[in-house]
Chains A and B, each alone.
Chain A
Amino acid sequence: MILALLLFLLAARGQSPEALQHMQAGAEAEKNRHFEAAIAEFRKLTELEPTAPAGFVSLGQAYLENHDYGGAVPPLKQALKLDPDSVPAHRLLGYALLAQGRSTEAIPHLEKAQDSAALGIAQLESGQLQEAVTNLQAALAKHPNDPDLLYYFGRASGLLSKQSIDTLLATYPDSARAHQAMAENYYVLRQMPQAEKEFQQAIEQRPEMPKLHLELGLVYAGTSQWAKAEEAFRTETKLQPGNAEAAYRLGHALLQQGRIPEARDELGRADKLQPEMPETLYSLGKAASLSGDNTSAEKAWLKVVEIEKESDLAAQAHFALAALYRKQGKTENAEQEMAKFKQLQHTPATSEVPQK
């Protein structure tokens, strides 16, 4: 693009055949990834045509491609002196500065180039997290599966979240939300006693705040303290009777304690609140099976494998169906389900000795 523009400009201005020769040689060298040769050719071009901004843009680009980011800056700045509105020059200068860690300087150039991806990265690097999240989100909308963009967006969002939490902790260190935030951090780090303590402090201040009891229940569930988990989930279901997750968690905690009829009731309620949630359906199948209601168990697990095709949960449902069919004497069905289960297992659970 820059090359075509350069050719057009030079031809239009009726420049010397020598300049055109260097321009073509530089382009050829660049194409062949001989960047140092390209730099030499474009430099001669800029000496022959010192008022043409396109020559400096090409020189800057060649430096960039040669990973000489410092070398790229002077010709690109010269290009902008000659043409302050040159979008390619702004973009390339923005890249060159960003690559050198000079993100703050890069930002105005990238803004002029309207390059939301690079701009978002520059803003992330310079700590402008809110703006970075906005621009990276815009870039992701255009390229949704770009792994680099996903990485930077995740990083920016995480840092923004951390920044907010840090502000919260600094400003209101004893607030319920501060204790909740601390508890969530401890939970992620699997420091359960600390997580439990922080959640309890949060609950003490705002016992009716949604999700607190649910999260405390998860701490107990994570350490297999099912009776305490049940109590916490039950409180959450009272606070939020329409919360399907709370109902599911309560049902699961009851199931773990072997309280099958109660578990079944609660899981059924969760299923009504949010139908077709695979986790609920899987547990509902378990509760039904343990109650001896094989028809309902089969129905729930078949629904799971209909919704989830290749997940771990699908594998579990196939395994459960195999056990159910085996119990019913449906050997062929059991074998089919077991084959599907084995197919979905990521690594074999057994170790065969190779047959000679």
Chain B
Amino acid sequence: MDRIGLRFCSGLLAMASVVASSTPIFEVAQPRGLDFTHQNSPTPQKYLIETMGGGVALLDYNNDGLLDIFLVNSGKLTSPMQTPENFGRHEPLYWNRLFRQNRDGSFTDVTAAAGLSNAGDGNYGMGVAVGDYDNDGYADLYVTSYGKNILYHNNGDGTFTDVTAKAGVAGGGWSVSAGFFDYDNDGKLDLFVTRYMDWDLKHSKTCGGEWHTYCPPEEFPATTNILYHNNGDGTFTDVSPQSGIAAKKGRALGVAFADYDEDGFTDIFVANDGMQQYLFRNNGNGTFTERGLEAGAALSEDGRRLSGMGVVFQDYDNDGKPDVIVTELPREIYGVYRNEGGGSFSYRSLETGLGMLSSGSSGWGVGLEDFDNDGWKDLFVAQGHVLDNVEQIDPSLRYREMPLFAMNQHGRFEKADASVSLPLVARGAAFGDLNNDGWQDVVMTVLGGRPQVFLNRGGKQHWLTVNLRGTRSNRDGLGARVRVNGQTRVATTAGSYLSASDKRVHFGLGTAETAKVEILWPSGIRQILNDVHADQILEIREPERP
């Protein structure tokens, strides 16, 4: 082939590559039977809770191998609200909903049969955490609210029991995101609950003068988060004061867990709204020290406070160390904190391209998942502004937004087509492989709307999904560090915003047909599996002995 021919050919190849990359990865589906509309009941009073709800969880509650979907509803608000506060949660319109996935990809609403129908009239629903806190092999649910939170124990027969009172985890105030993790490596999942602020309906107010808007967080006092220690007998103890967690008041919305300093103990990153972010370093003795500022993960590059909302604590640059990405309000660009090792982070929003992609957006639920199985974790962010009249106040901003979907090109994020045709006011986002095809899917909630299911169209790259089975560690293996062919993931269901993701750990393998799997279990046990075949969901059981 002559030089001109070569040039022509390379042009064609380039064009083909453009066409291939322009094919959307997702198909936005409306699976049959997933009949849910979030009820937030906006009022002229602009009660802040109205604009903050919409949790979602992906879990296999009946262990049939298929992910089911749990959606948190909010409740009924009247204008103005009367006391005692009644959010009408006994009415079916305001129930949380559990949808069991059927073999054909459709869903069946099993809320009533599962005993999850009434979340309490005094509770305006927010988020959900998932974890097998009693190690019985069945995923339990913890639902957060403005009001009281509820722990639902999975009975293993398709039903749940409200065990909140016995467990002692009702919380109180305004709880938002929560997550299960094992902070003391005793093999039992503990529980961390974020609380937004010291706010209640009686002390609600509007801001913005004639614009009549929801108030910013600075208008209300900060509050503390809650850490519950799992006693192993179905009860928990609130250890917030003695652990040091309650020593810091904040305005928390998101929480994620990872062992950032590789000392064998899981640390906590809390996304705070309108202030510095908190990084609670686990001291390994049941206490935590807030190290956000010292570690370089508390503020923006310019030392400005952030409107932290959602958070993900995973390794975006494949250097083996968990990094942090925090979603925020417009003009603040989402924060990328790269873990530099030695307990410190550097701010990388500009270099990674995320600054450019996020400066006009409001981000909530967030996940780092390898959607194209090329071995690099891509980014998905549920977006939509807090203020329903933001366009009148600042015409350059949008209330409804497209979600951000960005492909990771060796540590730099490049925008891709998320396949959504209409902008939405999105909040929660949960990640997992709904149809077990090896390609990660997303369920995103919409404030006052129907959830969006992003089904991954798949491709030719190889993959491996690891289903951890802890023995000495907690049964879900949460907190385990899993390395596959040079990529690292922390096993967790927490992160994002108000949401809980598939506990299984997914890796894209690119062209590799086999994988080396290395697991560092929370118990400290290291496990290595060589020549694992690609394209399978592999259950890995923790060795009983080191």
A and B form one complex: yes
Q: Which residues of A contact B (CB under 8 A)?
A: 190-193, 222-226, 255-258, 260, 286, 290, 315-316, 318-320, 322-323, 326-327, 329, 338, 341, 345, 349-353
| Contact for B352 among A258, A350, A352, CB less than 8 A | A258
- The answer on a CB contact under 8 Å between B359 and A224 is yes
- The answer on a CB contact under 8 Å between A341 and B359 is no
- The answer on a CB contact under 8 Å between A256 and B396 is no
B 117-166 contacts with A by CB, 8 A:
none
- The answer on a CB contact under 8 Å between B296 and A323 is yes
- The answer on a CB contact under 8 Å between B350 and A191 is no
A226 vs B353: C-alpha distance when bound (angstroms):
12
Q: From residue B268, how far is it (CB to closest CB) to chain A in Å?
A: 16
Cβ of B299: which chain A residues have Cβ within 8 Å of it?
319, 349
How many B residues face the partner with a CB closer than 8 A?
A: 38
Q: From residue A230, how far is it (CB to closest CB) to chain B in Å?
A: 11
Cβ of B351: which chain A residues have Cβ within 8 Å of it?
258, 260, 290
Q: Given A192-B396, A338-B294, does the pair A224, B360 have CB atoms closer than 8 Å?
A: yes
B 316-367 contacts with A by CB, 8 A:
330-331, 340, 342, 344, 346-347, 350-353, 355-356, 359-360
A225 vs B222: C-alpha distance when bound (angstroms):
34
Taking CB as reference atom, which chain B residue is nearest A193?
B395
Q: From residue B241, how far is it (CB to closest CB) to chain A in Å?
A: 9
Sample of 7 A–B contacts (CB below 8 Å): A192-B394, A255-B350, A258-B352, A315-B303, A319-B299, A329-B342, A350-B276
- The answer on a CB contact under 8 Å between B305 and A323 is no
Q: From residue A350, how far is it (CB to closest CB) to chain B in Å?
A: 5
Q: From residue B72, how far is it (CB to closest CB) to chain A in Å?
A: 28
Q: From residue A183, how far is it (CB to closest CB) to chain B in Å?
A: 15
B 237-258 contacts with A by CB, 8 A:
246-250
Cβ of A256: which chain B residues have Cβ within 8 Å of it?
350, 355-356, 359
Top 9 closest pairs, chain A to chain B, by CB: A319-B303, A224-B359, A223-B396, A351-B249, A349-B276, A351-B222, A224-B360, A316-B302, A192-B396
Taking CB as reference atom, which chain B residue is nearest A338?
B293
| Contact for B275 among A222, A322, A349, CB less than 8 A | A349
| Contact for B395 among A192, A257, A326, A341, CB less than 8 A | A192
A264 vs B301: C-alpha distance when bound (angstroms):
17
Q: From residue B200, how far is it (CB to closest CB) to chain A in Å?
A: 18
Cβ of B331: which chain A residues have Cβ within 8 Å of it?
224
> Does B298 have its Cβ within 8 Å of any Cβ on chain A?
yes
Interface string of B355-383 (1 = CB under 8 A from A): 11001100000000000000000000000
A329 vs B296: C-alpha distance when bound (angstroms):
13
> Does B440 have its Cβ within 8 Å of any Cβ on chain A?
no
A315 vs B305: C-alpha distance when bound (angstroms):
13
- The answer on a CB contact under 8 Å between B303 and A353 is no
Q: From residue A305, how far is it (CB to closest CB) to chain B in Å?
A: 13
B 203-247 contacts with A by CB, 8 A:
222, 224, 246-247
Cβ of A316: which chain B residues have Cβ within 8 Å of it?
302-304
Cβ of B353: which chain A residues have Cβ within 8 Å of it?
258
A323 vs B303: C-alpha distance when bound (angstroms):
10
A191 vs B394: C-alpha distance when bound (angstroms):
7
A26 vs B433: C-alpha distance when bound (angstroms):
96
